[in-house]
Amino acid sequence: MSEYNNLLVETKGAVLIVRINRERALNALNLETVAELQQLFDSYRDNNSIVCVIVTGAGEKAFVAGADIKELADLDSSSGVDLAAKGQHLMMTIQDFPRPVIAAVNGFALGGGTELAMACDIRLASEKAKFGQPEVSLGLIPGYGGTQRLSRLVGRGKALQLILSGEMIGAAEAYRIGLADEVYSPEELMDKAVKLAELIGSKGPVAVTLAKESINRGLDVSLPKGCDLEKANFGSVCGSEDKNEGTRAFLDKRKAEFKGR
Ligand code: DAK
């Protein structure tokens, strides 16, 4: 029996696959689902048997159709801040997760769904995926980091256009503006996501973690500060056994056997 009411969790080798499983509400993120995702990511944070995580939605229609509108309807100013805090904490946990997190966007990714996908490191989309930040249609603004991450990903103008209009875009347009990193047929999507996760998982784990951190943290600071961060992380990686193994394996013309330390 799963310990989660709203998540289906499985491992494929060293890849953790998390399916948000509330199909009757198009996988909308209610508070319980946010709490379960938080618990899941916290519980795997120090688990080095997992090399990569894939987040997707159960069923064929939706990745996540947003925050649960039934819960949003009851919010007041104070519970709104509380909900935003919980959701934003989850998104930061995913962004800062020490292993890469891939979003396999299999259908509607609206509001909190686009925000969840943007907190992930890489977004692979099905041709059926639809992205959007429709909060203004509900008299709301994005509350899970959407105003910040969308502008960083697609630029100020496109972020303003999407958030102020609330319009939905398809996978091809999401790819064109840099919101989706690849687009695949619905049948191919999970297979491609697992293959990418396995490819990343075959690389030096310490290097992968520090490269992710350098890019994500670097985007929040000036270029010189970002380069300082890269320099410090380069120093850390040079002190790792993985770097010794990776460079030695190349020179010995054999496959590296990384230990993740
Ligand atoms: N929440 C709850 N239920 C949802 C839902 C959602 N976000 N989206 C869909 N459902 C439910 C529908 O109510 C329907 O339930 P029943 O009527 O069958 O009981 C079922 O899922 C199937 O949906 P539809 O019948 O509507 O299916 P269609 O194919 O006709 O349409 C759709 C699909 C995705 C176009 C449509 O369902 C839709 O527009 N859904 C809502 C999309 C949306 O507006 N999402 C919310 C975005 S706003 C904040 C924190 C977070 C947020 C904001 C602030 N703070 C703390 C301040 C985030 C906000 C959002 O995410």
> 249 CB under 6 A from ligand 1?
no
From the number of C-beta atoms within 10 Å of its C-beta (0-12, 13-18, 19+), residue 212 rates as buried
Residues 6+ apart with CB under 8 A from 199: none
Q: Residues 136, 159: contact at Cβ < 8 Å?
A: no
| Ligand 1 centroid distance, CA of 196 (Å) | 30
CA dihedral of 78, 81, 84, 88, whole degrees rounded to 10: -150
Domains and CATH numbers, the chain: 7-201 (3.90.226.10), 205-252 (1.10.12.10)
| Ligand 1 centroid distance, CA of 64 (Å) | 9
Per-residue pLDDT reduced to its tens digit, 69-101: 999 898 888 888 888 899 999 999 999 999 999
**Residue 171: alpha-carbon gap to chain centroid:** 17
Residues 6+ apart with CB under 8 A from 71: 30, 31, 83
| Ligand 1 centroid distance, CA of 35 (Å) | 19
> 145 CB under 6 A from ligand 1?
no
Q: Whose CA is nearest to atom 49 of ligand 1?
A: 143
Provide the annotated active-site residues: 115, 135
Per-residue pLDDT reduced to its tens digit, 24-47: 999 999 999 999 999 999 999 999
> 110 CB under 6 A from ligand 1?
yes
Per-residue pLDDT reduced to its tens digit, 192-237: 999 999 999 999 999 999 999 999 999 999 999 999 999 999 999 9
The candidate with the shortest Cα–Cα distance to 126, out of 196, 72, 163, 175, is: 175
DSSP 36-91: HHHHHHHHHTT-TT--EEEEEESSSSEEE-SB-HHHHHT--HHHHHHHHHHHHHHH
Q: Residues 207, 237: contact at Cβ < 8 Å?
A: yes
Q: Residues 13, 66: contact at Cβ < 8 Å?
A: no
Q: According to the model, what pLDDT value does residue 1 have?
A: 52
Q: What share of the chain is helix, strand, coil (3-state, %, to 5)?
A: 50, 15, 30
Residues 253 and 247: their CA atoms lie apart, in Å, by: 10
Q: Whose CA is nearest to atom 1 of ligand 1?
A: 68
Answering whether pTM is above 0.85, one says yes
Quick one: what percent of the chain has pLDDT higher than 90? 93
Q: Whose CA is nearest to atom 12 of ligand 1?
A: 25
| Ligand 1 centroid distance, CA of 6 (Å) | 16
